[in-house]
A and B are shown apart, each in its own frame.
Chain A
């Protein structure tokens, strides 16, 4: 469109942008105040920057171990999930074999099912297989299963790899694994990065699953930790520490988003609505 926006339009856009930025900025500068300053005037800027709030947050939230738990939970899950689904995408979309259609149908079934009703039975089954109250168990539960979304995304990325490459490799006597590892895997890298980013965000932000399955506080992830910290710190009216904790938990998400923002935005629309 050639026509430029009116001032009104730009103001509207700026307004919405401020609705997003302002709360986040508010959290950051409150996290650098003292509780006294906070109660005096929640909106004033801090006199001096209280970085010790962050130290307090790290101590109260037991952030050292919690951060390690989260690291394990997220990256363990990431590696497992991406490995599983990339291989599965290759097998299900680039190879021809008997029973493929049936299995593909089974997987696409998950897109039709609401998912909300499996919460309870899934929990019962997980307990039965002793996957509960264990970070490793939870990693397996969430990430080993095939994901329709990931497979769909990967297949669209894998489509552009020419079949001739596979064929000539096969003629040269390469095994299936070599074909996958040396040809398909490197050429699918954009897709792999995309599903990795999404899986990272979903795992890092996941609250419900760790909340349900990880009853032992020593196994908590960041999301659950912040939730429980809310009750503790609110009770003691120690809001500034709570705000600091929130800022700390936000950092990884925002960093990943800042770096990979284009891919996140592109990937979000691929899996989404078509006109």
Chain B
């Protein structure tokens, strides 16, 4: 064994590179094979017709033509759009107000509140899904009970089972989960605003609302816009909550693109079984890829713009 040690100490460069390649090789390989290469593979599969059982069959652009004529795909996209408009707007509005008040309060209580607000963010999506399914439950749900307290009899209304309300019902779930995280980000950003900026406003007797609107928001506009865009993208990509809450139902009323793609290959509980379609799923994936890459470029262009100086 000693000659190995001798060899290594006499050849530092060899020692260094064998250390580097030794510890990097396998993780790097896994990364390239299972996380980078599948991007290329998904292009390849998108040109195939494959049920996962027999061999794949090359069908050219047929998956794409089918996709462009697929009403379910467009319906899913419209649902995504609906969520992408409502969720970020509501989440950030609430987070801003909460962050504004949290940043001002300097007591232990406020620190605890900050930590508490973050809790929904760390809970598993299964628990969140089931929790909100129970809140929306027709027979014993929290929501209907609250309506009952105000004298409105919801008569066992199933929020997640009604084609008209199901999608809208998803919005509070996403908001509930994400507010904590953005409250955190905004609180940190607001704490960075120098006190001098508030002085003249306070002397003039400005209200909290005015301070929030005229001073705080413009000062952290950079953080707000990046957060908003981040949230929009995340809402677009997310499908596990929808999977657990509604499985895309009822009758496709809450179907989102990510879930649509997922359902092409994997069986979702409570939906009709279908023969897997790896090729079609891959085509959907490629279209989503293109949409998201374009969105990323647009975002990068926009956020290059004005940074406010103090």
A binds B: yes
Give B195's nearest chain A residue, CB to CB.
A1
Chain B residues lying within 8 Å of A87, measured Cβ to Cβ, are: 23-24
A186: B residues at CB distance < 8 A: none
CB-defined contacts of A5 to chain B, threshold 8 Å: 101, 104-105, 208
Whether the Cβ atoms of A227 and B126 lie closer than 8 Å is yes
> Which one of B27, B98, B289, B296 contacts A88 once the chains associate, using CB atoms below 8 Å?
B27
Q: In the complex the two chains form, is B116's CB within 8 Å of A250's CB?
A: no
| Complex Cα gap A97–B23 (Å) | 14
* Interface check A36, CB cutoff 8 A: no
Q: Which residue, A201, A205, A250, has most C-beta atoms of chain B within 10 A? A: A205
Which of B123, B179, B230 has the most chain A CB atoms inside 10 A of its CB?
B123
Closest Cβ of chain B to A60, distance in Å, is 15
CB distance from B93 to the nearest CB of A (A): 12
Cβ of B26: which chain A residues have Cβ within 8 Å of it? 144
Q: Total A-B pairs in contact (CB under 8 Å)? A: 255
Chain B residues with Cβ below 8 Å from A265 are 114-115, 118, 184
Is residue B266 contacting chain A, with contact meaning CB distance below 8 A?
A: yes
Please measure, in the bound complex, the distance between the C-alpha atom of A110 and the C-alpha atom of B39, giving whole angstroms: 11
Q: With A120-B278, A268-B181 as known contacts, state yes or no: A125 contacts B38, CB within 8 Å.
A: yes
Q: Are A246 and B127 in contact (CB under 8 A)?
A: yes
Complex CA distance for A107 and B16, rounded to whole angstroms:
21
Known: A1-B198, A122-B38, A261-B115. A114 touches B293 (CB 8 A): yes
> Are A43 and B145 neighbours in the complex by a CB distance under 8 Å?
yes
Cα–Cα, bound, A213→B142 (Å): 35
Please indicate the chain B residues that have their CB under 8 angstroms from the CB of A272 in the complex.
Answer: 181, 185, 230
Give chain B's interface residue range (CB within 8 Å of chain A): 35 or more
Task: Say yes or no: A106 contacts B36, CB within 8 Å.
Answer: yes
A268 touches B184 (CB 8 A): yes
**Complex interface bits, B7-30 against A, C-beta within 8 A gives 1, otherwise 0:** 011000001110110011011101
Chain A residues with CB under 8 Å of chain B are 1-6, 8-10, 12-13, 16-17, 19-21, 23-24, 26-27, 38-39, 42-43, 84-85, 87-88, 91-92, 95, 97, 103, 106-107, 109-110, 112-126, 140-141, 144-146, 173, 175-177, 201, 204-205, 207-208, 211-212, 223-224, 226-228, 230-231, 239, 242, 246, 249-250, 253-254, 257, 261, 264-265, 268-269, 272-275
Residues of chain B having any CB pair with chain A under 8 Å = 5, 8-9, 15-17, 19-20, 23-24, 26-28, 30-39, 41-42, 44-45, 94, 97-98, 101-105, 110, 113-127, 130-131, 134-135, 140, 142, 145, 176, 179-181, 184-185, 188-189, 195, 198, 202, 208, 220, 222-223, 226-227, 230, 237, 240, 244, 258, 261-262, 264-266, 269-270, 278, 281-282, 285-286, 288-289, 292-293, 296, 307
Pairs across A and B, CB under 8 Å, 16 listed: A2-B202, A3-B198, A3-B202, A13-B102, A91-B24, A106-B31, A113-B39, A114-B237, A117-B289, A119-B262, A120-B265, A120-B281, A121-B44, A231-B269, A264-B118, A274-B226
